[in-house]
Chain A
């Protein structure tokens, strides 16, 4: 069975710093998708970034980028120039190709301090 592990329950950094959130997963599949979702205090679940396993190039969305290490089964999220609005829970999630079911990590609470 697939599992997703986020080893950092909580992190805090100063505004404008760079922060990296860790995620590891366990699967024997070759075709899958990985996601980072953000959940601010409003509880809305917001997609941050997605990565297809067959793509070697790391996904990037503005200040957000990933370091996808397929052999190590690692999928970390880097937030550059962090902003107060980045304060949220961040969830890493895995989906086997066309399986429909997202497997979620337990989340990392990120606090950006002014």
Chain B
């Protein structure tokens, strides 16, 4: 069982470039999430998808867009990367019974 997978593991971008972070889960969970983690801080929610076909803003959505492609996949897009978006990005999924979120391994993003 792979759980939650993320690609890529590491990426370097120049200011203004765009990219999409991919996330997939094989646990048949309804809800999926994107977080960012900055040094010395806990995670902050960027966007979430409570179920297939819906997405909602979290605490820090500016500069990001998301797509819930199907029940398994939830992607995060940076249209015009900025140095302030240098961070580690985590994807997570959860089921409605346990309300417990399970995390992917993270993507380290460096914007120069």
- How many angstroms between the C-alpha atoms of A95 and B45 in the bound complex? 12
- How many angstroms between the C-alpha atoms of A50 and B99 in the bound complex? 10
Please report the total number of A residues contacting B with Cβ < 8 Å. 23
Which chain B residues lie closer than 8 Å to A46 at the CB level? 103
Per a CB cutoff under 8 Å, which of A45, A50, A107 touches B90?
A: A45
Per a CB cutoff under 8 Å, which of B31, B40, B42, B88 touches A100?
A: B31
Which chain A residues lie closer than 8 Å to B94 at the CB level? 100
Which residues of B are in contact with A by a Cβ distance under 8 Å? 31, 33, 40-45, 48, 50, 58-59, 88, 90, 92, 94, 96, 98-103, 105-106
Q: List 5 A-B contacts (CB under 8 A).
A: A35-B100, A42-B105, A91-B42, A97-B99, A102-B43
Which residues of A are in contact with B by a Cβ distance under 8 Å? 4, 33, 35, 37, 42-47, 50, 91, 93, 95, 97-98, 100-102, 104-107
